[in-house]
Amino acid sequence: MTTRIFGSGIRRREDPRLITGQATYTDDVNLPGMVYAAILRSPHAHARIRSINTDAAKSAPGVLAVYTGADTEGVLNAIPCAWVVPDSDVKAVPYPAIATDTVRYTGDAVAAVVAESRYQAEDALELINVDYEILPANVHAESAMNEGTPQLHEDAPNNQAFHWVAAGGDTDSAFASAEVVVTDTIIQQRLIPNAMEPRSAVASYLSSMGELTIWNTTQNPHIARFVTSLVTGVPEHKIRVIAPEVGGGFGAKIPVYPWEMITAFCSMKLGRPVKWTETRSENYQSSIHGRDHVQTVEIAGTREGKITGIRSVVHAGMGAYLSTAGPGIPTILHGLMYSGPYDIPNIKADVYGVFTNTTPVDAYRGAGRPEATFLVERMVDLLANELNLDPVEIRRRNLIPKFEDGFDISLGLTYDSGDYQGALDKVLEHVNYEDLRRQQAQSRGQVTGNGHHDHGHDHGHDHGHDHGHGHDDQPSATKELIGIGVTTYCEICGIGPSQVAGAVGFGGGLWESAIIRFYATGKVNVFVGTSPHGQGEETTFAQIVSDELGVPVDDVEVIHGDTDNTPMGWGTYGSRTTVISGAAVALSSRKIKDKAIGLAAHLLEAAEEDIEYEDGKFFVRGSPDRSQSIQDIALMANVAWNMPAGMEPGLEASSFYDTPNFTFPFGAHVAVVTVDVDNGHIVLQRYAAVDDCGNQINPMIVEGQVHGGVVQGAGQALWEGAVYDEDGQLLTGSMLDYALPKAHLLPDIETLSTVTPSPHNPLGVKGIGETGTIASTITIYNAVIDALKPFGITRLEMPLTPEKVWQAIQQSGKP
Partner 1 sequence: MAKIPIQVTVNGQTHQAEVEPRTLLVHFLREDLGLTGTKIGCDTSQCGACVVMMNGSTVKSCTCLAVQADGAEVTTIEGVADQGNLHPIQEAFWDNHGLQCGYCTAGMIMTSVELLQRNPNPTAEQVRAGLEGNLCRCTGYQNIVKSVLAAAERMGG
DSSP assignment of 374-396 equals HHHHHHHHHHHHHHT--HHHHHH
CB of 455 to partner 1, least distance (A): 14
CB of 733 to partner 1, least distance (A): 10
> Cα–Cα distances in Å, from 512 out to 288, 578, 654?
25, 10, 11
65 alpha carbon, distance to own chain's centre: 37
Cα angle, residue 676 at apex, residues 673 and 682 outer, rounded to 5°? 40
Neighbours of 185 (CB within 10 A): 12
Chain residues 251-280 in contact with partner 1, contact rule CB under 8 A: 279-280
The smaller minimum CB distance to partner 1, of residues 17 and 237, is found at: 17
Binding window for partner 1 (CB under 8 A); candidates: 7-15, 289-297, 482-490, 629-637: 7-15
Candidate list 59, 173, 183, 734; residue touching partner 1; CB under 8 A: 734
> Cα–Cα distances in Å, from 238 out to 79, 80, 184, 307, 341?
19, 20, 53, 56, 47
Q: Please state the φ and ψ torsions of residue 443, each to the nearest 5 degrees.
A: -65, -35
Determine the angle formed by the axes of helices 630-639 and 582-603, rounding to 10 degrees: 80
Binding window for partner 1 (CB under 8 A); candidates: 296-304, 585-593, 701-709, 804-812: 701-709
The smaller minimum CB distance to partner 1, of residues 248 and 550, is found at: 248
Check residue 814 for interaction with partner 1 (CB under 8 A). no
Are 297 and 311 in contact, with CB atoms under 8 Å apart? yes
CB of 23 to partner 1, least distance (A): 6
CB of 464 to partner 1, least distance (A): 13
Instruction: List the x/- string, 10-49, binding to partner 1 by CB under 8 A.
Output: -xx-xxxxxxxxxxxx-xx-x-------------------
346-354: strand order across its sheet: 160-168, 346-354, 307-317, 290-301, 180-191
Q: Which among 596, 588, 635 has a CA at the least distance from the CA of 612?
A: 596
The smaller minimum CB distance to partner 1, of residues 194 and 771, is found at: 194
> Rounded to whole angstroms, how far apart are CA atoms 423 and 132?
57
Instruction: List the x/- string, 527-566, binding to partner 1 by CB under 8 A.
Output: ------xxxx------------------------------
Which residues, including other chains, have CB under 8 Å from residue 566's CB and lie 6 or more apart? Answer: 221, 222, 527, 528, 529, 559, 560
Instruction: List the x/- string, 104-133, binding to partner 1 by CB under 8 A.
Output: --------------xx--------------
Check residue 209 for interaction with partner 1 (CB under 8 A). no
The smaller minimum CB distance to partner 1, of residues 209 and 743, is found at: 743
Residue 14's identity, in one-letter code, is E
> Rounded to whole angstroms, how far apart are CA atoms 29 and 202?
7
The smaller minimum CB distance to partner 1, of residues 633 and 701, is found at: 701
Candidate list 107, 248, 255, 667; residue touching partner 1; CB under 8 A: 248
Binding window for partner 1 (CB under 8 A); candidates: 190-198, 394-402, 514-522, 785-793: 190-198
Candidate list 292, 362, 703, 720; residue touching partner 1; CB under 8 A: 703
Chain residues 441-470 in contact with partner 1, contact rule CB under 8 A: 459-461
CB of 749 to partner 1, least distance (A): 6
The smaller minimum CB distance to partner 1, of residues 364 and 420, is found at: 364
> Rounded to whole angstroms, how far apart are CA atoms 250 and 245?
15
Cα angle, residue 49 at apex, residues 44 and 52 outer, rounded to 5°? 110
The smaller minimum CB distance to partner 1, of residues 5 and 515, is found at: 5
Candidate list 219, 358, 712, 779; residue touching partner 1; CB under 8 A: 712
Binding window for partner 1 (CB under 8 A); candidates: 240-248, 351-359, 386-394, 654-662: 240-248
The smaller minimum CB distance to partner 1, of residues 258 and 741, is found at: 741
> Cα–Cα distances in Å, from 325 out to 76, 378, 409?
20, 27, 25
Residues that bind partner 1 (CB under 8 A): 11-12, 14-25, 27-28, 30, 118-119, 194-198, 245-248, 250, 279-281, 459-461, 533-536, 700-701, 703-704, 707-712, 734-736, 740-744, 746, 748-749, 772
